[in-house]
Copies of this chain bind each other. A is one copy, B any other.
Amino acid sequence: MSNTDSRLLILLLSRRDTLSESEAEALAGLNLCNSDHAHGETIVAGGDADAETVSFVVSGMALRAQVTLSGAEVISAVHVPGDFVDLHGLVLERLDHSVRAQGACRVQRIEKRELSALFREYPRLARVFWKQTLIETKIHRAWLAAGATLRANERIAHFVCELHARYAAIGLVRGNSFPMPLEQKDLDSLFGLSRAHANRAVQELRARGLLEWTRGTIAVTDLEGLRRLGKFDGRYLELGPRRRAD
C-alpha cells in the first residue's frame, strides 16, 4: 500500500523553509506508506523496537505517551495533521515513548534509510527536518513553563489556545471551532490533574464564556479572554512566515 502522494509532506516542510525545485522533487520521490489506526491503537511502539520508519500524521490525532517508573502514564505531546510523531527516532537509537492514535488516525511512513539517503544528497533538507524537531522542543518548553506557573484552569486555557493555533494553521478551524479528539479524562495524563479537578476547571472556562466543549469539538467563544487567562503567546509555535536557511 505504498503511494507517492507527498503533497502533505512537502506542504508541511515548506511551512518551515522554502524548498528548492530539486528538493521538492526529491521529496516527491520518497516512498510513502499510508497506515490507518483505530482509536487507542499503537502507531509506534516505544522502547527497544528499532523502527525502520518515521511517520507523520495525515488525519486525526496521535499522542506521545511515556510511562514513568511509578507506573503513571504521561502524555508529552499531541500531534495534529502535518506533525511528525517520531522524527527524533531517525537520529536517536530508541524512543523514550510510544505513539498511539487518539480517535481514528492516519499516518504516512517514510523509510529511515530513504530519508537518510535523501539527506546525503540534499544536506540542507536535513536542516529542515532538524528544525521540525526543534519546534517540538519549543512546545515542550512552553508546557514546562505552563506547568511551573499556571493553575489548572489556566493551563487548560493555554493548551486549548495552542490547539486552536495549530489547527488554524492547517485550516481545520471552522468558524471558531475545531476538532477535539481528546476527552476530559485524558487531561489528567496531560497535566497531572485528577479527573474531578480537571472537570471543574473546564466547567469554569465554560462558565466564564470562554469556550464550549462538546464531545469531539471545541468552540472558542472568547479567544482573547482564553489567551489572557492562559497567558498564551503563540509565537513559540513558529506558525508565521519563515525564512530560508543556509
The residues of A with any CB-CB pair to B shorter than 8 Å are: 66, 68-70, 72, 74, 76, 88, 91-93, 96-97, 113, 116, 119-120, 123, 126-127, 130-131, 133-138, 140-141, 143-150, 189-192, 231-233, 235-236, 238, 242-243, 245-246
Given contacts A91-B127, A123-B120, contact A138 B96 (CB under 8 A): yes
Given contacts A134-B133, A140-B140, contact A147 B246 (CB under 8 A): no
- Report whether over half of chain A's contact residues are helix, strand or loop; otherwise say mixed: helix
Specify which chain B residues have a CB less than 8 angstroms from the CB of A91 in the assembled complex. 127, 130-131, 134, 245
Cβ–Cβ contact B145 & A66, under 8 A? yes
Complex Cα–Cα for A69 and B230 (A): 9
Closest to A67 in B: B145
* Identical subunits present: 2
Cβ–Cβ contact B231 & A69, under 8 A? yes
Specify which chain B residues have a CB less than 8 angstroms from the CB of A134 in the assembled complex. 88, 91-92, 133
Closest to A95 in B: B138
Specify which chain B residues have a CB less than 8 angstroms from the CB of A146 in the assembled complex. 68
Specify which chain B residues have a CB less than 8 angstroms from the CB of A238 in the assembled complex. 92-93
6 further A-B pairs in the complex, CB-CB below 8 A; given A69-B231, A76-B144, A88-B137? A68-B149, A70-B149, A70-B150, A97-B141, A123-B123, A136-B137
Specify which chain B residues have a CB less than 8 angstroms from the CB of A149 in the assembled complex. 68, 70, 72, 74, 192
Cβ–Cβ contact B74 & A192, under 8 A? no
Given contacts A133-B134, A137-B140, contact A68 B189 (CB under 8 A): no
Specify which chain B residues have a CB less than 8 angstroms from the CB of A242 in the assembled complex. 93
Given contacts A126-B127, A130-B91, contact A192 B76 (CB under 8 A): no
Complex Cα–Cα for A233 and B66 (A): 13
Query: Which of A72, A126, A148, A189 gathers the greatest number of chain B CB atoms within 10 Å?
Result: A148
Cβ–Cβ contact B92 & A232, under 8 A? no
Specify which chain B residues have a CB less than 8 angstroms from the CB of A74 in the assembled complex. 144-145, 148-149
Whole-angstrom distance between the Cβ of A38 and the nearest chain B Cβ: 26
